[in-house]
Amino acid sequence: MKYTALITGASAGIGLELATLFAQNGHDLVLVARSEDKLQRLALKFAVKYKVYTLVLPQDLAKHEAPDHIFDALKQAGITVDVLVNNAGFGNYGYFRDTSLRKELDMMQVNIVALTHLTKRFLDQLPNGRPGKILNIASTAAFVPGPLMSVYYASKAYVLSFSEALAEEQRNTNITVTVLCPGATETEFKERANLEGSGLFSMPFMADAASVARAGYEGLMAGDVVVVPGLKNKLTALSARLAPRSFLRPAVKSIQEKRK
């Protein structure tokens, strides 16, 4: 079956790799990110290489009106989206007392509010009985409290909980909901979150964006609810469910602290 997939944060990292996988498999695309130039280059590449149609919608999801602008543009273009990929998101490193309130409010808008808003609009535009798929990008951060990235970890806990609940609500329908929970991955996320030097991103054998995207894509197509790519990340998620919270808090803080 040929889909039209809307992917946010599609200009780099996991979002770019997911867009490439959809294009390789012959699906049309709606790409959303702040950088119109990058998206236009991707649209041209996908048209030439994979013969798929790509609609470019440059939007900043930190602006509360962006989700409505996206779906209003789709309605005007006569496009119904079959797959929603909520990939856009970012983090911020530091003690909460010292970090930028503006950046953290924007983070909550992108990671939580826009994701929820887009999901609602996506479901509203699907005709009754039409199949649909949702892929939300969370993180292994969703399973634990995150000292030094408290708002980011909390936002990903929301994404995981929301996705699992929605998946159960839609269990007997033609709509599936999948949540992807990768661990530390080689993307631009590290620089934007000011994580250079953090123990979390100093560990060996970090995943690459392409392998994470493939795990998410395959899980989405299979209708899986929770996808945790990689054995190390699976063990992290399992141990987080079993370990006392009093142990997890200082353990995560120790990992997060920057190495000198």
Q: Which residues are catalytic?
A: 152
How far apart, in whole angstroms, are the C-alpha atoms of residue 170 and residue 140?
24
Q: Name the one residue in this structure whose structure tokens are 């005007």.
A: 76
Which residues have a Cβ under 8 Å from the Cβ of 51 and sit 6 or more positions away? Answer: 26
- Helices (H), ranges, the chain: 13-24, 36-50, 66-77, 101-108, 115-125, 150-169, 189-192, 209-222, 231-242, 245-256
φ, ψ of residue 76 to 5 degrees: the values are -65, -35
Q: Please report, as a single letter, which amino acid is at residue 252.
A: V
Tell me how many degrees the CA angle 238-174-217 measures, rounded to the nearest 5.
50
C-alpha radius of gyration, the chain, whole number: 18
Which residues have a Cβ under 8 Å from the Cβ of 48 and sit 6 or more positions away? Answer: none
CA 83 vs. chain centroid, Å, equals 13
CA 48 vs. chain centroid, Å, equals 27
Which pair of structure tokens corresponds to residue 208?
Answer: 């690459």
